[in-house]
Amino acid sequence: MDDLDATRQALAISCADALELMTDHLEGALSGADASRMRAHLESCQACSLFLDQLRATIKLVHDAGPPQEFAVNPRRLESLIELFRSERDN
Amino acid sequence: MTECIQTARTLQAGSPGLGWCVSRTVPNMDCDAVKATDSELLEQLRQADETAFRELVDRFDPGLRRMACLYVDPSVADDVVQDTWIVVIRGIDRFEGRSTLRTWVFGILVNIARRRAQREGRTVPFAALASVDDAWAGTVELARLRHPELGEGYWAAPPTWARDPADAAITAEERALVLGAIERLTPAQREVITLRDLEGWSGPEVSEVLGISNVNQRTLLHRARVALRQALEGYFNG
């Protein structure tokens, strides 16, 4: 076995395959065998580990760009709903 | 959608004090714990407890409005949310507790919003059909996966970013970039990533509300995240 074969073997799967499995890996959705191959690949592949870190950074940025902590419910709308709630429960 | 989120931010500026706990608290709770809280609240609602109803509206209304904006114009979102509440009020006795209160209420909104959007001739996000329709060229361009020695399918060079966002707080420019990139996603990808990564819902909840399989949900999420990472790469390396 030459050096390239040994490298491919250590990587377990190709980068192209690992990239398609990134979200499943983050979600803990990979089967036992796929999860081991993914872990082996990430241990040996700096570029895919970097990509995974960037994906995590992306998720964090989307989260941080996310919804405001507070938001007003229009009081008039709320009162009309309360009225409907009252009349429906009375029936 | 950016417009809608901005509208939400504008509105919140003058309205401190109202509870907002749609997303980031509930998904971290154990599902059984959520259902226990739900059943307590449901019991109070069935006993015509108006305080419980106010709590329900406070809890879900902001998220419902943001969700409605995925489907309809912000000017119509209030109507969609109001119609949702009317169905909820009339359906309290029929809710069987098989899902959480949140997925039940948001599921109602999704149905109403999709119908309304169709009526208005808008492109309706419909995740259930998306994985069949979307063309997918792979997570990264094939040209970047041609290692000089290992060959096809292996990185030619690591995908470095000139700047690393690391743990720094998000800047206004980054926020605008992220929201703009979300808006350019396919409607179904936008639907999934908004609920998952912006609102912080769990995968099973999103699958249930959108009526798609978990596998489809993850596929759409992956494609959306990859597109956003790509947009950020262009920005950080620009």
What does the pLDDT look like over B107-134, one tens digit per residue? Answer: 999 999 999 988 887 766 665 555 445 6
Three-state secondary structure call for residue B69: coil
Q: Which residue has the higher pLDDT, B199 or B19?
A: B199
| Residue of B90, B178, B221 lying closest to A65 (CB–CB) | B178
Which chain B residues are closer than 8 Å to A76 by Cβ? none
Please judge whether B12 and A19 are an interchain contact, meaning their C-beta atoms are less than 8 angstroms apart.
no
**pLDDT for res B177:** 95
Question: A58: pLDDT confidence band, cut at 50, 70 and 90?
Answer: very high
Residue A48 has pLDDT above 80, yes or no: yes
Please judge whether A61 and B85 are an interchain contact, meaning their C-beta atoms are less than 8 angstroms apart.
no
Residue B63, chain A, CB below 8 Å: the answer is yes
Residue A33 has pLDDT above 60, yes or no: yes
Residue A55, chain B, CB below 8 Å: the answer is yes
**pLDDT for res B199:** 87
Nearest CA in chain A to B81: A77
Task: Give A42→chain B minimum CA distance, Å.
Answer: 13
Residue A63, chain B, CB below 8 Å: the answer is yes
Please judge whether B50 and A82 are an interchain contact, meaning their C-beta atoms are less than 8 angstroms apart.
yes
**pLDDT for res A19:** 97
Question: A66: pLDDT confidence band, cut at 50, 70 and 90?
Answer: confident
**pLDDT for res B123:** 65
Burial class (CB in 10 A: 0-12, 13-18, 19+), A82: middle
Question: B14: pLDDT confidence band, cut at 50, 70 and 90?
Answer: very low
**pLDDT for res B12:** 34
Question: B24: pLDDT confidence band, cut at 50, 70 and 90?
Answer: very low
| Residue of A27, A54, A82 lying closest to B159 (CB–CB) | A54
Please judge whether B160 and A50 are an interchain contact, meaning their C-beta atoms are less than 8 angstroms apart.
yes
Residue B3 has pLDDT above 70, yes or no: no
Residue A2 has pLDDT above 70, yes or no: yes
pLDDT tens, residue by residue, B55-98: 999 999 999 998 998 899 888 999 999 999 999 999 999 998 88
What integer is the mean pLDDT of B177-195? 92
**pLDDT for res B23:** 35
Alpha-helical regions (H) of chain B: 2-13, 31-46, 50-68, 74-91, 101-119, 127-133, 172-183, 187-193, 203-210, 214-236
Question: B138: pLDDT confidence band, cut at 50, 70 and 90?
Answer: confident
**pLDDT for res B130:** 52
Which chain B residues are closer than 8 Å to A51 by Cβ? 140, 159, 229
**Residues 97..136 of B with a Cβ closer than 8 Å to A: which?**
none
Residue A35, chain B, CB below 8 Å: the answer is no
Size of interface A-B (CB pairs under 8 A): 170
Residue B55, chain A, CB below 8 Å: the answer is no
Dihedral sign from CA coordinates of B39, B43, B46, B51: negative
Three-state secondary structure call for residue B202: coil
Task: Give A61→chain B minimum CA distance, Å.
Answer: 7
**pLDDT for res A88:** 92
**pLDDT for res B1:** 45
Closest CA to B138 of A33, A71, A39, A16: A16
**pLDDT for res A12:** 95
| Residue of B15, B89, B229 lying closest to A85 (CB–CB) | B89
**pLDDT for res B38:** 84
Task: Give A12→chain B minimum CA distance, Å.
Answer: 12
Q: Which residue has the higher pLDDT, B235 or B120?
A: B235
User: Whole-number mean pLDDT of chain A?
Assistant: 92
Q: Which residue has the higher pLDDT, A25 or B133?
A: A25
Question: B9: pLDDT confidence band, cut at 50, 70 and 90?
Answer: very low
**pLDDT for res B127:** 57
Give the pair of three-digit tokens for residue B124.
């309706």
Residue A25 has pLDDT above 90, yes or no: yes
Please judge whether A65 and B179 are an interchain contact, meaning their C-beta atoms are less than 8 angstroms apart.
yes
What integer is the mean pLDDT of A81-88? 94
Please judge whether A66 and B198 are an interchain contact, meaning their C-beta atoms are less than 8 angstroms apart.
yes
Please judge whether B221 and A90 are an interchain contact, meaning their C-beta atoms are less than 8 angstroms apart.
no
User: Whole-number mean pLDDT of chain B?
Assistant: 82
Alpha-helical regions (H) of A1-91: 3-11, 15-20, 22-27, 32-44, 46-64, 75-90
Place of tokens 């809608």: B4
